[in-house]
Amino acid sequence: MSGGRVRGTVRDGVERFLGIPYAGAPIGQRRFAPPEPTAPWSGTRDATAPGATAPQNSYAGAIARILPTVIIPGADFLNVCICTPASRSSEPLPVMVWFHGGSLQHGANALQGYDGGAFARDGIVFVAPNYRLGAEGFSVLEGAPLNLGLADQMAALRWVQAEIHNFGGDPARVTVFGQSAGGNTVAALLAHPDAHLLFGRAIIQSGPLSAETPDRAGKITRLMAEDLKAAATRDAFMNFSPDELLGAQARVTAGGTPITGGAGFALAVGGGLVPASPQDALEGGAGAGIPLLIGTTADESRLWLVPSGLVRRLNRLHLAVARRKAGISASAVRLFRRNRPDSPIGEILGALATDKLLRVPANQLADARLARGAATYVYEFAWPSPVEQLRAAHAVELGFVFDGLSSPDSIGLAGIGAPQELATDMHRAWVDFAVFGAPGWEAWSARRPVKMFDGGANPVVSAPREDERLALTP
């Protein structure tokens, strides 16, 4: 490869090359600036262990019991981990590029749950890039470009186009996929005018399709600036070390969640990377030539509401305030309550949030793409995890997609003894989509078919919970 030689490992028929830089270290004067090419190295680079991770805080509170954090110090954290079949023919293989989630402030390719060995076993070249997170990647600063973490992802995809043939991959057959914040960035990548030059298929798992105005996205930056007694400018933030910024970040985000609100990072509309909200751009026809697999879990919000005990503390007043803030009608709330007669208020609010933030926008996008003849496949993960009563909460599906139920990361979400047959089926659907452009069930149509990964028959259901979708659709 152009940067130099690398040495990886071979185990169980899979070659792994870990921590390979795809861009220069974003330190010193490269902080708060677009990614730059990495400098070539001499000799053979050791790629047998995960590389550095982007500066980040560990998860806090109850969610830390469930979601792991890996922090590896080092400057070269704009790196990729690659898994590829050890035995392969001369014909190049499909490529899948994974963008991790974590609220744009957590996550790394070094997490055990993101090992791509099962994809390589099934004939895929798997690539997992790190990208800048939190203040370093998604601040809104005077004098700095917006969405630098997304710019890193674009640089990683360009690196894949230039280098993946060295690992047996076909740059003409690239699928991008991501979950949660990673799904949000995949939506933005799909909406980008250069998407068709970088990948040919996309998967969005529980990802918001939104981006905020710079003013709204910049709220957390302004709060951090106040905390640090500094201006919200690139020059001012350059005076603080990454650790100092992480301290301020922890202080201003304490207690917030995607469901209850609080300061958090978001994609910002503006500049060449996100010229419009991904939802608006995609519904307007962007990415229509690229097949899309999109879906949610049945109980997304339980990740934040149940382990913390918040689900039992929320009351009618919280529900009333939340529904007004989200623009949800009182009649929609009554419908959700009738459909869940024995559920506490917190579960009602969580179900409304899941649909309003994720399921309804996914349906709207599928409808818009259908009108343009774009191939779209919709799924819902509905298997109920017994861990801390999570049920089908946000992120529970990850171990199934990666066919890695025995990894500690998956056990933390799905427990011991999760159904391997479901993992086999779900993982196979992701592989088939990357290889063939179809996951094994019918594309979106007027019938509104949704593949339900419930751990039983995994049926395709037409228009599930249609009354609730219609009640929340603008």
Q: Tell me the two tokens of residue 79.
A: 């790196």
**Beta-ladder partners of 5:** 44
Provide the pLDDT for residue 259: 67
* H-helix segments, 295-385: 302-305, 310-313, 316-326, 330-339, 345-354, 360-371
Alpha-carbon span 22 to 132, nearest angstrom: 13
Provide the pLDDT for residue 296: 98
Q: Residue range 76-99: average pLDDT? A: 96
For residues 150 and 194, is the Cβ–Cβ distance under 8 A? no
Q: Residue range 137-164: average pLDDT? A: 98
**Beta-ladder partners of 268:** 212
Provide the pLDDT for residue 256: 72
Alpha-carbon span 205 to 183, nearest angstrom: 6
Alpha-carbon span 292 to 183, nearest angstrom: 12
Identify the band that residue 89 occupies on the pLDDT scale cut at 50, 70 and 90. confident
Provide the pLDDT for residue 261: 67
User: Which residues, including other chains, have CB under 8 Å from residue 122's CB and lie 6 or more apart?
Assistant: 427, 428, 431
Alpha-carbon span 193 to 334, nearest angstrom: 42
Q: Global pTM?
A: 0.98
For residues 202 and 293, is the Cβ–Cβ distance under 8 A? yes
**Beta-ladder partners of 295:** 205, 379
Active site amino acids: 180, 300, 394
Alpha-carbon span 94 to 27, nearest angstrom: 33
- Rounded to 10°, the helix 242-253/219-228 angle is 110
Provide the pLDDT for residue 88: 86
Tell me the CA distances in angstroms from 329 to 283, 453, 471, one per residue in order. Answer: 24, 30, 8
Query: Residue 107: pLDDT above 70?
Result: yes
Identify the band that residue 396 occupies on the pLDDT scale cut at 50, 70 and 90. very high
Residues in the chain, total: 474
Phi, psi for residue 11 in degrees, rounded to 5: -150, 130
Which residue type, as a one-letter code, is found at position 20? Answer: I
Alpha-carbon span 300 to 298, nearest angstrom: 6
pLDDT, one tens digit per residue, over 214-264 is 999 999 999 999 999 999 999 999 999 999 999 999 999 987 777 666 789
Provide the pLDDT for residue 1: 85
All structural domains of the chain:
5-472 (3.40.50.1820)
pLDDT, one tens digit per residue, over 151-189 is 999 999 999 999 999 999 999 999 999 999 999 999 999
Mean pLDDT of the chain, nearest integer = 96
